[in-house]
Amino acid sequence: ESFVYWMRMEDLRIEDNTALHKASEKAQDFGIPLIVLFVISPGDYKIHDRSNKKIDFILRNLRDLKTKFHELNIPIHIASYDRRLQIPRRVITEILPSLGAKHLFVNIEYEVDELRRDIATVKLGRESGIDVRCLHDRLVVPPGKIKSQQGKPMSVFSPWQRAWAKLLDQQPHYLNMSPSPKANDKSIKSNDKFNKLFEEDIPDHVEGFECPESEKLKEVWPEGTDKAKELLDRFLHTKPRQTQFQFTSPLNTGAEESQKESRVAQYQTGRNLVDGDNSSRLSPYLAAGVISARMVLNEAKKLKGGKLESGRDTGVGMWVQEVSWRDFYNHVMATWPRVSMGRPFLEKFADVQWETNEEHLQAWKDGRTGYPIVDAAMRACKARGWMENRVRMVSASFLVKSLMLDWRLGEKYFMESFIDGDLAANNGGWQWTASTGTDPQPFFRIFNTLTQSEKCDPTGAYIRYWVPELKNLKGKAVHDPFHQMPKNEFKKLGYPEPIVDHKKSRERALFRYKNVGEKE
Ligand code: FAD
């Protein structure tokens, strides 16, 4: 007999893992072993636009976890099924019986397909005499807990955020962390069936998701909860180093410390500057659950004198607010499931008239739009699978409002490219940008790409790093070489001319949004 914890690609950690802890607790009570199951499904990854960088990050973390589980005499069984809809049946009627398990523990994932999978698993479990426990773990406050005074779900971030922080201060148990699992008795290894599981290898790639950049990414995004904790500590407690981190290890401690305050202390301004290394860089770890949001908030809370409820007046206050966006967008997705089915939150914007221009879409993806800040961000995305928040907004806004291309094309491309790809956050970010989301800002918020560029990359270092054609340019020319340089000088750069005119495209976007549903 055994108890099984089915680990998902969003709970890749041992510490503070609710389902793992509950499974371990029960297994100890009954005196029978705990087994960890992980299901790889290329078919599922394909349909959900997973990036090869994310799959590689997951496999690297699984290898790290395997070592740690083995230290606790807990085997990890890897199953692989291409056909994702078959997974519940395979798990309930084949894998669990083969492990002699009558109890399955999982952490809930709130995306529609994942919820359907879990409902199917619970139903099949009932038919087969298997008890399936689905637990809340991903968020600090489970979806549905925070409601308006009239008992309705809230869709506007600011009041929701205040209620979230207040709840956490009044009911701090939400931040309690689950104890790590206890070790299995070492006699598990004398059982042939279980002993074989200890010999299973974690594959080094998933077919169709091979990642040639794996070694480089390992340096930039090292795997494991210990590394995530180091990143958290670097962000909250240490002074920034004198390095210009763009595509090197963030944990490189060789460089000189600057005289500045810690990153979090400067976060209010730093978070919008991409020519430095100012944010936590924890998103791949939070998205894959390598570190929990409770773990990071408990540390932030210490810096806030034990209270989370407060405004934007301090760097750490602002950061806590940013972390709460993660809960918020998951709450939106769980409450209005249409957002994870390709629908706008505001249905009235379902019929905006989009352009269909393959060349423009490709130029955006390749970082060849002639707008240096967009091109730098898109090239950074391709190379390291990650962008700073400000340039995610700038490049997303450029696709939607300047090129007038459907935001869902951008949403898909980001998911296919990011190491931190996460449906709720990515969809929330795109719908915010496309003015189709929960944000009360009207549709006429249209970023001026060049002004944004000067503000977020004031030294131009970000553009010069990612767009080598412009590496020798200074001043305004680095932000807008086409208009700031003599034509013959510009031609020598080998850099594209702007593919759209900002002013004209702004007018087009305003017209299309205003006349939604009508043809020009
Ligand atoms: P920090 O500034 O240090 O913030 C700490 C953590 O808070 C982040 O790691 C993240 O978990 C959370 N967070 C911060 N801002 C947001 C936000 N706006 N929405 C949700 N969570 C947030 N984030 C993802 O994790 N995955 C995505 O796929 C993703 N796609 C995005 C797409 C667009 C168009 C936009 C505008 C934003 C997107 N974000 C996404 C949110 C945000 O840009 C990243 O979380 C952030 O840049 C990651 O850097 P960091 O870890 O250094 O963040």
Q: Which of 430, 115, 180, 174 is nearest to 324 (CA)?
A: 174
Smallest CA separation from ligand 1 atom 31, residue? 426
Give the 3-state secondary structure of residue 18. helix
- Please name the amino acid found at residue 362: Q
> From the CB of 393, is ligand 1 less than 6 Å away?
yes
pLDDT at 12: 98
What domains can you pick out in the chain, each with its CATH number?
2-138 (3.40.50.620), 222-335 (1.25.40.80), 347-514 (1.10.579.10)
Query: DSSP code of 132?
Result: E
Q: According to the annotation, is 226 in a ligand binding site?
A: no
Distance 377 CA to ligand 1 centre (A): 15
Residue 285: CB within 6 Å of ligand 1? Answer: no
Any binding-site annotation on 82? no
Nearest CA to ligand 1 atom 48: 283
Could you report the average pLDDT of every consecutive run of 10 residues in the chain (520 residues)?
96 98 97 97 97 98 98 97 96 97 98 97 98 98 95 95 95 98 95 93 97 97 98 92 80 73 93 93 98 98 87 86 97 96 93 96 98 98 97 98 97 98 98 90 86 97 97 97 98 98 96 81
C-alpha angle 15/20/21, rounded to 5°? 75
- What is the ipTM, given to two decimal places? 0.99
Q: Could you tell me which of 237, 475, 437 has the C-alpha nearest to residue 332?
A: 437
Q: So what's the pLDDT on residue 257?
A: 72
Chain centroid, CA 124 distance in Å: 31
Which residue lies with its CA nearest to atom 46 of ligand 1?
Answer: 389
DSSP state of 153: B
pLDDT at 255: 67
Taking residue 364's Cβ as centre, other Cβ atoms within 10 Å add up to 26
β pairing state of 101-107 and 131-135: parallel
Ligand-binding annotation for 421, yes or no, is yes
Which residues, in sequence order, are CB contacts of 366 under 8 Å at separation 6+?
A: 378
Say what the pTM is.
Answer: 0.98
Q: Is 322 annotated as belonging to a binding site?
A: yes
- The answer to whether residues 393 and 429 touch, using CB atoms and an 8 Å cutoff, is yes
Place of tokens 């407060």: 310
C-beta of 438 in contact with ligand 1 (< 6 A): no
DSSP 38: E
Say how far apart CA 108 and CA 36 lie, in whole Å: 16
> Which run of H or E residues covers position 232?
helix 225-237
CA of 432 to the centre of ligand 1 (A): 13
CA distance 516 to 308: 41
Which atom number of ligand 1 is nearest to the Cα of residue 286? 11
pLDDT, residue 309, reads 85
Q: What is the pLDDT of residue 311?
A: 61
| DSSP codes, 64-117 | HHHHHHHHTT--EEEEE-S-GGGHHHIIIIIIHHHTTEEEEEEE---SHHHHHH
The answer to the question of whether 417 is labelled as a binding residue is no
